[in-house]
Structure formats: C-alpha cells, structure tokens
A and B are shown apart, each in its own frame.
Chain A
C-alpha cells in the first residue's frame, strides 16, 4: 500500500544508520510519509489515543510497582502508602486506576467505529482479529489489575471470576485450584495475578505492533468504505493525521484528567476501600463497569457452564465477524438497514451494561435475557441476513469524489438565504 519508500536521508548520521539498520526509514514510512485517506473523521483518532493510553498505563504501572507489595497482609496498605506518602503517588495511583477506565472507553469507541464502518472486511480480517485479541488481553490485564489493591471487591471479584472455571466438566475443580495456586483465593493467587498483570501489557505491546503492521499493509479504511484508488485520495500522515490525532488526544485527555483529579473514585467501587476479608461477602459483587455487559450475559443464562460459554462467546463471536457480515459494502453510511441495526446493538449493549450493574432479581433477569438473545441474534442471524437482503445506496467512485460531493453540498448552505 505504501509502496516504495520515499525516505531520502540528508543527515549523514541518519544515512549511516539507515544503510545498516533501516529503522529511520521504517519510522519515516510509518509516521511521516504514510498515506492516510483524506476523509478520516474523528472516530478514527482513537487508535492513536489507545496507543498513548497503553504507554501511559505501562509507565504509571512500572512506577507503582516500585512501591507496591504483592502480599495479602501488605497489598492494601501499600496502595494506601502510595496514595499518602509517595511523592506524587496520589496522582500516579489515580492516573493508573482511572486510566484503565479511559483505556476501555477508548477501546469501546474504537471497536464500535470498526463495526460501523465495516473495518473488519476483506482485506482487513487479520487486522480485526488481532484487535479482538488485544481486547481480550486488555480484559485479562484489567481484571488482574483490579485484584491487586486487595480491597473487598478485588477479592470477591477474583473469587467469582475464577470460580467460573469450576463449571468446566470433569476438570473444573482442578482448574480452579490450579488458577488459585491453592484451595482459596489467597497469597499465591495475588502474587500470580501480580506477575501476570506485569507480563500481559508487554504481550499486549507485541500484539499491538502486529495490529499496526497489519494496518500498514492494508492501509487504513475510511468512512466511505471505498478503497484508496489514487494519490488524490490520501494525505501524508505528517502533518495531517499527526495534528488531528494530537488535537483529539488533547481533548480526550481533558476529560480523562478531569476524572483523575476531580472524581477519581467515581468509576470504582467504594467497598474496595475496605481491605479484603474472606469471611465477609459484600452485598453486591459487581465487576468494573467495563465488564458489566459481559457479566450480564453470564448471569442471563441459568446454567453456569452455558453462562460461561455465552460470556466468552459474546466476544469470541467478533473473531468470525468478517464472515458473518455478508454484505459487500463496508460502510454503514451506505447501508440503511445495517445502520439502524448497529445503533440497536449499541442500545442493547448499553442495556446489558445496566443489567450487569444491578442485582439479578425480578425483571432485571428478563431484561438481561432478552438483551442477551438480541446480542447473539444480531451477529448470528441479522448480520448474515441483512447483507443478503439489503439494497445499499450507490457508492461514490472514489474517496476524493465523496469529499468533493460533500463540500459541494456545503457550499449552497453557506449562501445567505433570501
């Protein structure tokens, strides 16, 4: 896609390096001359935002580890120690905790954008599947990270989630014991979660590199879903995408830091300020907000094993999304029925989140079950059918045509009305 490299180093040092290891060339081709479609909107800036959030989580995490103690008797107090005694520790700890939430906000928007514009379709299936893998790693990392402060919700969340594996036939009990490193959630569990919570982010970095590599092979999608056809359709990454991404990132960080500094506990659970106590079960055990829709799916199924299958299935189904969507047209802009289905799915997902936050009693159970059925129906029944039945709107012949048409539409509106 990017074709031959146009890198032509003028600096002799860069030339010397480039002749031996073409790292300067790779950087130049990836972040300077890399052509991006000229019609990308702000929904496309979340990839860059996610990259920064990942780096931010890793840096704050590494510093936090310098003061944290992964031991059942000391973990809770060591986090308080960070908040109270470590220089800037109060901000650092909140930045990391709230950062996890905003990492997920960004990734949900990024995934939804991919679904809306059909970013998963050929030739970007592997790019998409790597993205799903990234999301799964994020979920595992986030879950283990929430256990580390060793509060009540940390402990009981870990207990509930690890207990899910006891639903596995025959080996369930053995698997859970193996996961815990003992016969209950205890010090061994905390230490292995700590170990993995430190390891997985670097695995994540590896998969993200593959994700970006795949992106740079196929080139970016765009809101029209029409592939780039000529140089007319694209602009250079720098300065165009760079400055737009930087602006979006800065605005995203205004909201993010507002939460870090002014409402740091809002996205967490108050009960997690109570140290873990294996003998006292909290009234409602709920995971962090970003897991709630999947938690609702888990609880919607009366059978434990099938519930676990449904929960994992609700994410794993994204892996085969490129083949479930039968439409040749990528973008929802040109797919009137799919566009409505997309928004219904968003509403459905939101409802699942609300259901997940509430106790599984009364009509919440019914709502959760209906929403779960609809969730799977969207992917397994509606998507394949709509692709076959729907008549898409005519596609623009190229990205630049679409841009010109849009600008022409704007022009008359700018004229003063009589």
Chain B
C-alpha cells in the first residue's frame, strides 16, 4: 500500500514535470488572452459559416498533424449550425482518411476509406505514440479545448462578474496561444528548456513544447482571405469553439423561445394574481 502510494506520487510528479505543467509555474504566470469579439459571443451570437470553414481548413492542414479531435465525426461538418459543408464535400473529406474496420466474415481486419459517420481520424494510434512522436509532450485533444482552458484570469472580486459577461475566454485563449510566441526575456532565456518555445499565454507555460505551428500563408483560403497568422489563429479558434459545442446555435435559439415564453407567461400570471388577490386584503 505504502509503496504503491509512493510510486503513484513519483509517477504523478514525473508526469507533471514531463508535461511542463507544474502548478507552481502555471500559477499567476499565464498572461490574459487578448479579448476580441467573436461573432458567436452574446445571447444572439451565431457562428460565421465562412470563418468556420476557414478554421476547419487550418485544423485539417496544420493542427491535425498532431492533435486529435476525438469527439467529432465528419458528418458534423454538414450539420446545421456548423461550417455547413455540403454532403459531397464531407464525403470527400472523410474519404481522405483510412479507417481500420472489421473483422470481416473471414476474421480479417480491413482498411477502408472513411465515411461521414466515422469519427475524425486521430493522427496517432494512442497516447504513448503521440507522446513519443512529440518529445514526451502529449498534443492535447482539441474537441473541448475552448471549454476547458480559460483565457481570462482576474482578481477574485471582479472575476465572477467579468466571466458572466465574457465567458471563460477559451476561444481567446486558443487564439492568443497560437499567435503569442515571443522571444523569451533575457532572464528566462538563461534556463530555457531544450526544444521548447516561449509563450506567455500558455496555461502551463511559459514554456510550451509545441513549436510555433502557424506561419504566414500556411494555408490557402478558398475565399481569398489573406492567411495571416492572426487570421488563421482567429479562424481556428472559432472552429474549435464550434467543435466544443456543435449545437450552440440550436441551444441559443431554443433559449430565446423559452425565455420569451416564460416572460409572457409570467406577465399573464402576474395579472391573474393581481385579479385574484385584489378582492382580499393581504
């Protein structure tokens, strides 16, 4: 029992060191993400289809080399409220991937081209392979990245109010990390870990194992938008926000109906209540 505990503690410590995510470093060092206004913010905010399509391209061409998107299926790309690619486009995108299926009637596993119903193919067969290929750092699954990472850190006495208005800053976090690579300050540069880059926005930073992933014109947008690092960062942040909650638009539009219904109901109930109680002193 004791040895198990010690072992676990050692593994935990080792892992956190490897991931470069020791709590002490993270505490207070993370720079607040740059607050920009996305189209999907606010009560009425919806996604910008063109932006989601551009963002998907960035994910597919750049991020997908290392990062999985486990919760997403290709079919999601065609569903309402997302990039809304055509079914044919989605079929073509899915077919680019290879899926291990089976066993067939002979008991053999078979490789086949992907279908829209398949999950996004992972770049690595498992976590260990992903870490081995990336110098021991695990490229995090991006399905929920904008939900689980926070870009805004404010003092405790204002934080609850700011977050109510701005949210947790997840989309801004992704954007800022992607375009936030800097020359390390002389002080920090002295003990720069090998193979890591300096990024003050990174949640477990400031040293990040991911080399700057985006460079000018890394992708070619079909709609002719100039593919600057900022543009690509913003687009892929929007795409990953959608991937975090593909049904956000449906949620908001339903919410609008529900709240409106309840407001009218409350008004009617208030008038009824006044009428009923009007006869009686209370």
Contacts and interface: CB of A to CB of B under 8 A. Distances in A.
Interface in B39-83: 43, 70-71, 76
B277 A274 contact: no
Interface string A252-292: 01100110111111100011111000111101000000000
A186 B27 CA distance: 29
Interface stretch (B9-17, B88-96, B208-216): B9-17
B266 A254 contact: yes
Given A247-B269, A283-B23, A235 B280 contact: yes
B124 to A, nearest CB: 17
A274 B167 CA distance: 17
A273 B1 contact: no
Given A243-B272, A250-B262, A254-B263, A273 B147 contact: yes
Interface string B232-274: 0000000000001111001110111011001101100110110
A265 B166 CA distance: 12
Contact of B247 (A83, A257, A358): A83
Interface stretch (B148-156, B189-197, B223-231): B148-156
A254 B281 contact: no
Nearest to A271: B148
B280 A240 contact: yes
A38 B276 CA distance: 13
A207 interface: no
Nearest to A94: B251
A11 interface: no
A354 interface: yes
A154 to B, nearest CB: 13
A260 B255 contact: yes
B258 A257 contact: yes
A244 B250 CA distance: 33
A247 B266 contact: yes
Contact of B147 (A235, A240, A270): A270
B21 interface: yes
B255 A261 contact: yes
B144 A273 contact: yes
Interface residues of B, number: 53
Interface in A304-323: none
A244 B269 CA distance: 8
Nearest to A403: B281
B109 interface: no
A252 to B, nearest CB: 10
B254 A261 contact: yes
Interface string B1-42: 100100010011001100101010011000000000000000
A183 B4 contact: yes
Given A38-B282, A91-B251, A254-B262, A281 B12 contact: yes
A247 B150 contact: no
A317 to B, nearest CB: 28
Contacts of A247: 266, 269-270, 272-273
A12 B258 CA distance: 40
Contact of A357 (B156, B168, B245): B156
A244 B277 contact: yes
Contacts of B255: 257-258, 260-262
Nearest to B255: A261
A39 B258 contact: no
A257 B259 contact: yes
Given A90-B250, A251-B266, A258-B255, A403 B282 contact: yes
A407 interface: yes
A257 B147 CA distance: 20
Contacts of A84: 71, 76, 246-247
A125 interface: no
Contacts of A18: none
A187 B270 CA distance: 50
A246 B269 contact: yes
Interface in A166-186: 183
Contacts of A254: 259, 262-263, 266
Contacts of B251: 90-91, 94, 261, 264
Contacts of B156: 354, 357-358
8 contacts: A38-B280, A84-B246, A247-B269, A247-B272, A261-B252, A279-B16, A281-B16, A403-B281
Interface of A: 38-39, 77, 80, 83-84, 90-91, 94, 183, 235, 239-240, 243-244, 246-247, 250-251, 253-254, 257-258, 260-266, 270-274, 278-281, 283, 354, 357-358, 400, 403-404, 407
**Top 8 A-B pairs, shortest CB-CB distance:** A261-B255, A273-B148, A247-B269, A273-B147, A250-B266, A273-B144, A90-B247, A274-B148
Given A257-B262, A279-B12, 9 more contacts: A83-B245, A90-B247, A243-B273, A246-B269, A254-B262, A261-B256, A264-B251, A266-B167, A273-B244
